[in-house]
Amino acid sequence: MISQYAQIVPKGDVLLIQRLAEELQGRSFLHINSTKAGGGVAEILQRMVPFLKELGIDARWEALEGDQRFFDITKKIHNTLQGHPEQFHQSMWEHHYEINRKNAARLPLDADAVLIHDPQPAALVEFRKEGKWIWRCHIDVSNPVKDVWDYLKRYCEKYDSAVFSVAKFVKSLGIDEFIIPPSIDPLSEKNMELPEEEIHATLNKFHIPADRPMLLQISRFDRFKDPTGVIKAYRIVKKYNDCTLVLAGSPATDDPEGETVLREVKEYAAEDPAIFILLLPPFSDRDVNALQRAATVVLQKSTKEGFGLTVSEAMWKGRPVIGGAVGGIPLQIVHGVNGFLVHSVEGAAFRIRQFLNNPDMAQRMGERAKEYVRNNFLITRQIRDYLSIWYAMESKGKNIFEL
């Protein structure tokens, strides 16, 4: 599999991955998260686990099982860790622990390295067996609700190390901590090259006109993604530039608020015939790919964001991207170089019009965006980083650069 990436990704990543894989050959690497469908974590693992297996590493991926109450609670945990107040009481933490306990009895937790993704399965560390345990935080915890973070921290401190996406998310846990941004797979169905006929066929399928500039935001229907803010920006732009707006996303099984937010967005759109709200089924990767390639301008106007893989996805396709200046988005967009960062609806509208009225500038920024992603946010870099951390934990004092 790695040979398929050799002509796309930086050569140094390929060489280091091969050397690290030789050192870790036959070792077991277990990933656990909360869902196998929906969201960036699941998308990454769908591609990463087979890649690791091909390298000779015994990679496995398990998903937590829980009831509706558990996922309601973990959504509240997610919201509070991103700074949004929620009503929280002890019985919620007790239920969170009980679901983790049941999963610990069900799941084979034996592995040389165990990577636990996000707060949902964090309590599994109470049932750890042998091996190195790593907690991977994908969300923006730069300004959490203190009581909730303090409780979750009791679990996090019991890991051997922690990984965050952005430096400003890092917390003092008394364990080794690392910065590893997420990544996209350039060869996946969501990011591979597509023929023009397929792109046009996708637009026809959703009845989206191809004769006007298209604004696009791809994301879960989540208030932190600010879909109503995107509609507000579109309405400002529409006064001066004829265009359409597409808001598209797939449901995530661990996000019980999605249906409510989708309903709010539809009501706010007020049946505007130039606004297309698409609830895509899981694994609609080729449709997402085609929509991103068809877009004139791509937005990710989040108000909180752990990273925002849709930003790198669109940049990889050479699209001009506008993102909220929050979380991991500024790690991807260098303002004024390969896209624009915004702080308001009015700022988003201004930058959209700037792209629409300057197609040459939009093309130049899109070209720079693709190269920036090539050098920083492809899956080989993330695999390189994960294997490097694992190797460092297993080989205290041994210099990785002497491999």
pLDDT of residue 39: 77
Q: Which CATH architecture has domain 196-376?
A: 3-Layer(aba) Sandwich (3.40)
Q: What is the mean pLDDT of residues 151-161?
A: 95
Strand partners, 378: 184
Delimit the domains of the chain by residue range: 2-183+378-402, 196-376
How much is the average pLDDT of 255-262? Answer: 84
pLDDT for position 146:
93
Residue 38 has pLDDT above 60, yes or no: yes
As a whole number, mean pLDDT of residues 69-86 equals 92
> Two tokens at 286?
């080729």
Domains 2-183+378-402 and 196-376 share a fold: yes
Please say whether the beta carbons of 322 and 335 come within 8 A: no
Could you tell me if 346 and 366 are in contact, meaning their C-beta atoms sit under 8 angstroms apart? no
Q: pLDDT tens, 182-230? A: 999 999 999 999 999 999 999 999 999 999 999 999 998 999 999 999 9
pLDDT at 3: 84
Three-class SS state of 137: strand
Highest CATH level, class, for 2-183+378-402: alpha beta
Q: What distance in Å separates the CA atoms of residue 63 and residue 66, rounded to the nearest whole number?
A: 10
pLDDT at 129: 87
Q: What Cα–Cα distance (Å) separates residue 236 from each residue in 97, 227, 325?
A: 47, 15, 20
**Which residues have C-beta within 8 Å of that of residue 387, sequence separation ≥ 6?**
17, 20, 21, 24
